[in-house]
Amino acid sequence: MRAINALQDWGINMSKKSVSSNLEGKELLAFYKARIDEFENERASLLDSIEKCSVQAGELHRLDWENRRRADEIRELQKALSDAHAFLFEERQRLLTLQAENDELRLQEIEDRKRIQQLIEYDPVVAARAGPSSKSDANMDALLLKIESLNAQLNEQRQLANERIQALVEDRVIREQEEQAHRALMNQQLEQAAQKLRQTEEMLRQATKDSILARRDKQQAEERAILAGEELLFEKQLSREEISALKRKAVEEVRELKQHNESKLDDIAGNLRKQLKVREDELINLGSVHTATKAQLEKRVTELEARSCKLAEQNKALDQRRHMDMEGFAADATHLRKMLASIDRKLHEMRLIDRLGEDDRLDSILAHLRQKNPSVLEDSDVTHGAGDRNSGRQSGGGNGSEVSFSVKSELAKGLREVKGRIKGLEDRLASKKKALAAEGMTCGSRSVISHSGKK
């Protein structure tokens, strides 16, 4: 279409030239100036249209890129949520394991009591007092407690499994929704690409058609140009006579125009000098603004570097604190193992006391056991227990029961201390989880703030 318009304009120009050949010099100059202004206006309008198209394309590209970035962030957050669910289920599994171990310890305690009761029953006097019902009651209590513990563990495991299945189902639904959205987006992009392909094919077909029509119009225009050339040759013979007269007149007009243009050129040179001075002043102002902006940016860079160093120090302190916490957990576990060994020794002492009674070898055997497996309980309690046993040996009649009572009290105290230590460990684990969750939220907010600062 542009080629056709150009050919039509050329034909119009040819006709206008034939008409303007009869015009005078000033009118001819005005005519060409008007034509140049028209071409300049058309060129400016085309450049504006191209600029608008480029701005729209840039905005579309920016929005597309922002959409992709947000989709990536959503996928990362969903992945982090899935990891958090998995970590939560693992911690709950560990808690259930600790509860199961606690139940096992309670059952072990009941078994120990049962063994103690069996040892007591070996004495015929005590067996006659207790009667046959105490053994059955102890067995029944142990079995009931074991059944209750197993039922509680089964219910907790069932609840944990149901929650884990529900979380997995929700995660699967979310992933299916994401996949459907992604598939719909891909289908939409495919349809858009197919539509663009059809539009491109249509434009190619139209351009081919326009090219063929332009070629035909060009041939017709060439034929018309040949005819017009013959007419111009005839007119040229007529215009030669007029040219000689017009040359003399043109020389005079050129001389006048030259004088006028020289005066006008001086005025233009003065205006350009003034504009040059103004531009130099603006350049100086821009240089000062650039210097101030550079100083502000350097200051900002310094502040950001200091902040980065501070954050690195904080991260190092957090790592040291975690390391110290892990060392504390290891020390507590070691102490608990020692306390359990001490409790086992106390149980063995109690069995020896019940078995030997008032035998003279009892003190030497107990001293040998304490020297071989030192206790981690308080020294005052151990000393007090030893004093009670010595006084029981000297008193004669009821020494076996007093020593047994002292060992039992130490055993009960050791068990209470073990339970307290286990509860302390659970509290520290809970506080550590809360601290880790708070640190994770703080790190996430810092990463979001740094990401927005980079933007």
Torsion of CA 115, 119, 122, 123, to 10 degrees: -140
Token code pair at residue 105: 């310890």
Residue from 407, 394, 396, 417 nearest 366 by CA? 407
For tokens 């491109």, the residue is 200
Q: How many Å separate Cα 394 from the centre of its chain?
A: 76
Which H/E stretch holds residue 22? none
Output DSSP code: residue 1: -
Per-residue exposure over 415-450, b if at least 16 CB sit within 10 Å of its own CB, e if not: bebbeeebeebeeeeeeeeeeeeeeeeeeeeeeeee
The helix-helix angle for 2-20 and 133-356 (nearest 10°) equals: 90
- Which DSSP helix (H) or strand (E) runs through 23? none
Q: Residue type at 240?
A: R
Separation CA 455–CA 450 (nearest Å): 9
Q: Is 410 exposed, middle or buried (0-12, 13-18, 19+ CB in 10 A)?
A: buried
15-34: b or e for each residue (b if 16 or more CB lie within 10 Å)?
eeeeeeeeeeeeeeeeeeee
Looking at residue 377, the DSSP 8-state letter turns out to be S
- CA separation for the pair 392, 451 (Å, rounded): 76
Tokens describing residue 83: 């990891």
Check residue 238 and give its pLDDT: 80
List Cβ neighbours of 350 (8 Å cut-off, separation of 6 or more): 116, 404, 407, 408, 411
**C-alpha triplet 185, 189, 195: angle, nearest 5°:** 145
- Residues 112, 114, 115, 120, CA torsion sign: positive
The three-state secondary structure class of 375 is coil
> What is the rounded distance in angstroms from the CA atom of residue 46 to the CA atom of residue 424?
80
Residues 289 and 269: their CA atoms lie apart, in Å, by 30
Please give the Cα distance from 23 to 445 (Å, whole number): 80
Q: Which residue has the tokens 């959409």?
A: 67
> What is the structure's pLDDT at 440?
57
Q: What is the DSSP string of 241-277?
A: HHHHHHHHHHHHHHHHHHHHHHHHHHHHHHHHHHHHH
pLDDT tens over the chain, length 455 residues: 444 454 445 444 544 555 445 445 567 677 778 878 888 888 888 788 777 766 666 677 778 888 888 888 888 888 888 788 778 878 878 888 887 788 788 778 877 877 887 787 776 654 555 455 455 565 677 677 778 778 887 888 788 778 878 878 887 888 788 888 878 888 888 888 888 888 888 888 887 888 788 778 877 877 887 777 677 777 777 878 787 787 888 888 888 888 888 888 888 888 888 888 888 888 888 888 888 888 888 898 999 988 888 888 888 888 887 777 777 777 777 777 777 777 777 777 777 766 665 555 566 666 666 666 555 444 434 333 434 444 343 333 344 455 455 656 666 676 677 767 777 766 776 776 677 666 655 554 454 444 444 44
Give the other-Cβ count within 10 Å of 89's Cβ: 16
